[in-house]
Structure 1
């Protein structure tokens, strides 16, 4: 899948990227250099939160050290026109709370919240979980909202064990209520560009596109340098759903993106 339309050319950054601080395969500096080479203005660093121990999620202490590392990288980038924005992919816990200290979340530029556990939760409970997360003042983007996985190899390691790849069905929740809440709180729904996610599924993406005022973020969820090219997948899906650039938050310049995220804590 590729995004050859105009939307790809209008993206100013990627709001969901991992490094080897958590479960990414490449260091911060390499991911930043590759993101800058895409012609973008910014990249948002969103390594995992503590509860996701399998992904080496960042404790509060490690996240503080990462913020210092990002500051050093931005000092080195001064004058280039490119910047690294601070962020996290924070786990949405079963009660809808976010898996990181609120004081730390308040310091971050962009917070992506995603469900990584109890994905088979009963529909009404999952709905309440997502609604609580969307109402949280520190959450900006709801990541890969259904949690589905497709049996697609995304790198050489996955290809080598291709016979063991499995499909994971999407979680069940009241999509009308969740999308309406996202619009009401002015939060964005992620269009995840990973070939093994492509989340939300096309039928839900078309439904979401019809919700007045609902914003979206087209992200790679990249865990390696080569995966930063996946944005075209999300752009093609957004265009197929009829979405226009004014509804995509990462078509905004960095300062305007930050103006938007700050409204959630106001």
Structure 2
């Protein structure tokens, strides 16, 4: 088995499990170290012991490389594959109709890998498009992008697209909805992007009426396309649990329907946001939806399976899910002419 492929598959599977990002990064680092080496060179370095002494190669990654160089599926990879068997089952129903993902982060903010790495993983999953939506300046803990950094990122994404490939990268942002309802980036910057996800990340325990006004401000901004993880809740995971924000969901979803803003069905298992009752309410109010991974690492792009299953269980019609739309229709909706 190719050692680089084995290391990258292990990283992907760890990311999908939401394991510690440091564990996954160790495998990606080891893959990058041996990437320039031929299979013969890797085998020779295993044989003479020099590979084990290379900086960035630890005991576990060395064992993976050694077993792959010997023509075997590494034990650790076999263990992960067995553990992930249900996730590897063939996709069915709504999941097969999803064409892309409109909420993903890179190492420009709080993601773990490069734009190129996220693009390769999305393409491998069969995505037709992927929006890069790193955070905005107010979220300093997540290294949010200033206007200058966002401008630089736009140029890089456009450069990657110009070289062609099997997937279209879209320029985007996950912009904070600030307490006064404004968006945390200059309007002229937001106007340059293909797509804008607007989310609340701070003061989540604000009383209901103030939170409702805040969210309505974000939804009513003409540059907003998607309302991200609307309640901000956490139901499991390493960060603990967090109750949902309180707001007048009927008013907010009615505004989404009126302004043609899609309500995100966030696929992260620790979020499961919106809750089922709010998906039903948004459906009744006539909202569009966007099933997104909110991935912060390549393996997390596969979390779309979970969001699709929730949407399917809730009876959301595929035609009202913008991530089932072809790229041309999506872009026309996101940035209509005139």
Q: In the alignment, is the contact (CA less than 8 A) between 2:100 and 2:130 conserved in 1? A: yes
Q: Deviations over 1:97-117 (max 9, x none)?
A: 000011010000000000001
Q: 1:192 and 2:266 equivalent?
A: yes
Match in the other structure for 2:316: 243
Q: 1:98 and 2:183 equivalent?
A: yes
How many residues align? The count is 251
Match in the other structure for 1:177: 251
Matches within 5 A, 1:99-138: 99-138=184-223
Q: In the alignment, is the contact (CA less than 8 A) between 1:24 and 1:224 conserved in 2? A: yes
Q: Measure how far apart 1:197 and its partner are.
A: 0.5
Q: Measure how far apart 1:40 and its partner are.
A: 1.2
Greater RCO structure (CA 8 Å; 6+ sep): 1
Distance 2:213 2:272 in 1: 24
Moved beyond 4 Å, runs of 4+? 1-4
Question: Which consecutive unaligned segments of at least 5 residues does structure 2 have?
Answer: 1-85
Q: Measure how far apart 1:211 and its partner are.
A: 1.9
Distance 2:253 2:269 in 1: 23
Q: In the alignment, is the contact (CA less than 8 A) between 1:5 and 1:236 conserved in 2? A: no
Q: Deviations over 1:136-178 (max 9, x none)?
A: 01100000000001222xxxxx4xxxxxx42100000001111
Q: In the alignment, is the contact (CA less than 8 A) between 1:112 and 1:142 conserved in 2? A: yes
Q: Normalising by structure 1, report the TM-score.
A: 0.91
Partner SS for 1:88: strand
Distance 1:7 1:61 in 2: 39
Q: Normalising by structure 2, report the TM-score.
A: 0.72
Superposed CA RMSD: 1.5
Distance 1:258 1:126 in 2: 30
Partner SS for 2:162: helix
Q: In the alignment, is the contact (CA less than 8 A) between 2:94 and 2:318 conserved in 1? A: yes
Larger Rg: 2
More helix by share: 2
203, 211, 214: which one aligns with 2:277: 203
Match in the other structure for 2:242: 168
Q: 1:83 and 2:168 equivalent?
A: yes
Q: Measure how far apart 1:33 and its partner are.
A: 0.4
